[in-house]
Amino acid sequence: MKKILTKNGFNQKDIVSFGNMFLLANGRYGYRGTLEEFDKTDMVGLNVLGLYDRYQDKWRESINLPNPLHYIPCFNGKEYKIDENNYINHHLKLDIFKATLSRYSEYDNLIISSKRFLSSVNKNLLVHRYILKAKEDGQYKIFFNVDTDIYEINGPHFRKKELKYDNGFFIFTGKTNEGKIVKTYTKYVSNETIIINKNQCYVSKRLQKGHEICVFTYSYIALGDEDAVNEINNAIVTGFEELEMEHSLNFEKKWETARVEIDDEEAQFELDYSLYHLLILEDKESYHSIPARGLSGQTYKGAVFWDTEAFILPFFTLSNPSFARNLLMYRINTLKGAKKKARSFNYQGAFYAWESQDDGTEQCSKYNVTDPITNEPLRTYFDEKQIHISADIVIAFDRYINFTGDYSILLDGGINVIYECVKFYISRATFRNNQYHFDDVMGPDEYHDGVNDNAFTNYSIYQSMNILIKYYQYTNTIKNPISLKKIKKFKDLIYLPKPNKKGIIEQFDGYFKMKDIHPEEVKNMRKNDKEYLGFIASKTKTIKQADVISLLVMLPELGFDKYFKANYDYYLPYTEHGSSLSSSMYSIMASKIDDNDVSYRLFRKSSGIDLGTDQKMYAGGIYIGGTHPASNAGAYLSVIFGFLGMRLNDDKISFDIHLPKQIKNIKFKFYLKGRLYRAYIKDDTLVYEEDDNL
Ligand code: IFM
Q: How far is residue 680's CA from residue 457's CA, in Å, rounded to a whole number?
A: 36
pLDDT at 285 over 60: yes
Query: Percent of the chain, pLDDT > 70?
Result: 100
Cα 30 off chain centre by = 12
> Would you call 376 a catalytic residue per the annotation?
no
Residue 189 CA, ligand 1 centroid: distance in Å: 43
For the CA of 306, the closest atom of ligand 1 is 1
Q: How far apart are CA 523 and CA 542, in angstroms?
A: 10
pLDDT of res. 614: 85
Q: How confident is the model at residue 1 (pLDDT cuts 50, 70, 90)?
A: very high
Catalytic residue among 446, 506, 531, 576: 446
Look at ligand 1, atom 5, and give the residue with the nearest C-alpha.
579
> Which residues fall within 8 angstroms of residue 437, CB to CB, at 6 or more apart?
429, 430, 431, 452, 453, 458, 495
Cβ(202)–Cβ(144) under 8 Å? yes
- Nearest atom in ligand 1 to the alpha carbon of residue 581 is 4
**What is the distance in A from the centroid of ligand 1 to the CA of 617?**
13
- pLDDT value of position 693: 65
CB 148 within 8 A of CB 163: yes
* Ligand 1 centroid, distance to 114 Cα (angstroms): 35
CB 169 within 8 A of CB 176: no
The number of the ligand 1 atom at minimal distance from the alpha carbon of 579 is 5
Which band of pLDDT confidence, cut at 50, 70 and 90, is reported for residue 3? very high
Q: What is the residue-averaged pLDDT of the chain?
A: 97
Helix, strand, coil percent content, the chain, rounded in steps of 5: 35, 25, 40
Q: What is the DSSP string of 148-190?
A: -----SS---EEEEEEEEETTEEEEEEEETT--EEEEEEEEEE
| pLDDT of 694 above 80 | no
Sheet bearing 212-222, strands edge to edge: 4-8, 89-95, 100-106, 110-118, 125-134, 212-222, 181-190, 169-176, 158-166
Q: What is the pLDDT of residue 371?
A: 85
Alpha carbon of 305 to ligand 1 centroid (Å): 7
Measured from the Cα of 446, ligand 1's closest atom is 5
Tell me the C-alpha to C-alpha distance, in Å, between residue 594 and each of 578, 583, 597.
24, 16, 9
Q: Which of 120, 143, 232, 247 is nearest to 186 (CA)?
A: 232
Comparing CA positions, the residue from 257, 275, 315 lying closest to residue 607 is 275
Provide CB contacts within 8 A for 588, sequence distance 6+.
553, 599, 637, 638, 641, 642
Distance (Å) from CA 235 to ligand 1 centroid: 40
Q: Residue 104: how many CB atoms within 10 A of its CB?
A: 18
Closest residue to atom 4 of ligand 1, CA basis: 444
Residue 321's Cβ-side half-sphere holds a number of Cα atoms within 13 Å equal to 20
CA dist 113 and 103 (Å) reads 5
Quote the DSSP letter at residue 83: -
Average pLDDT over residues 478-486: 97
- Among 662, 675, 668, which residue's Cα sits nearest to residue 646? 668
List residues near ligand 1 (CB under 6 A): 292, 300, 305-307, 444, 446, 579, 581, 630
CA 606 – ligand 1 centroid, Å: 14
Residue 677 bridge partners (DSSP): 670, 690
Q: How far is CA 347 from the centre of its chain?
A: 30
Q: List, for residues 12-70, the tens digit of each pLDDT value.
A: 999 999 999 999 999 999 999 999 999 999 999 999 999 999 999 999 999 999 999 99
Q: How far is CA 320 from CA 120, 483, 629, 673, in A?
A: 16, 36, 16, 12
Mean pLDDT of the 491-498 span:
98
Which residue has the least CA distance to atom 10 on ligand 1?
292
Question: Residue 682 and residue 282: Cα distance in Å, rounded?
Answer: 32
Residues 6+ apart with CB under 8 A from 308: 289, 290, 327, 630
Cα distance between residue 282 and residue 388, in whole Å: 26
Give the integer Cα–Cα distance in Å for 129 and 243. 12
Checking if the pLDDT of 670 tops 70, the result is yes
282 torsion bin: left (phi>0), alpha (psi -120 to 50), beta (else):
beta
Pocket test of ligand 1: the residue of 289, 305, 386, 441 to mutate, having most ligand atoms within 8 Å of its CB, is: 305
Strand partners, 184: 172, 221
Q: Give the per-residue pLDDT at 573.
A: 98
What is the residue type of 289? S
Residue 375: predicted pLDDT = 85
Q: Is pLDDT above 80 for 461?
A: yes
Looking at ligand 1, which residue's alpha carbon is closest to its atom 9? 292
Q: Contact at 8 Å (CB) between 31 and 48?
A: no
Ligand 1 atom having least distance to the Cα of 354: 1
Q: Are the beta carbons of 500 and 451 closer than 8 angstroms?
A: no
The sign of the dihedral angle between the CA atoms of 192, 196, 197, 199 is positive
C-alpha distance across the termini of the chain, in Å: 24
User: Which tens digit of pLDDT belongs to each residue from 532-543?
Assistant: 899 999 999 999
Q: Which residues of 123-148 are buried (b: 16+ CB within 10 A; e: fewer)?
A: bbbbbbbbbbbbbeebebbbbbbbbb
The number of the ligand 1 atom at minimal distance from the alpha carbon of 624 is: 7
Q: Are 503 and 563 in contact (CB under 8 A)?
A: yes
Angle between helices 596-607 and 629-637 (to 10 degrees): 150
Q: Compute the distance between CA of residue 468 and CA of residue 421 in angstroms, rounded to an integer.
A: 9
The candidate with the shortest Cα–Cα distance to 294, out of 83, 23, 9, 86, is: 23
Mean pLDDT score, 422-433: 98
| Helices first, then strands: H and E counts in the chain | 21, 30
Tell me, what amino acid is at 210?
G
Residues 258-271: what's their mean pLDDT?
Answer: 98
How far, in Å, from the CA of 577 to the mean position of ligand 1? 11
Q: pLDDT tens, 187-246?
A: 999 999 999 999 999 999 999 999 999 999 999 999 988 899 999 999 999 999 999 999
Identity of the amino acid at 440: D
- Stretch (H or E) spanning 328: helix 321-333
User: Phi/psi at 392 (nearest 5 deg)?
Assistant: -60, -40
Instruction: Name the residue with the closest Cα to ligand 1, atom 7.
Output: 579
281, 307, 606, 618: residue to mutate for ligand 1 pocket, most atoms within 8 A of CB:
307
Q: Residue 303: which residues within 8 A CB-CB, separation 6 or more?
A: 291, 292, 353, 355, 356, 357, 363, 364
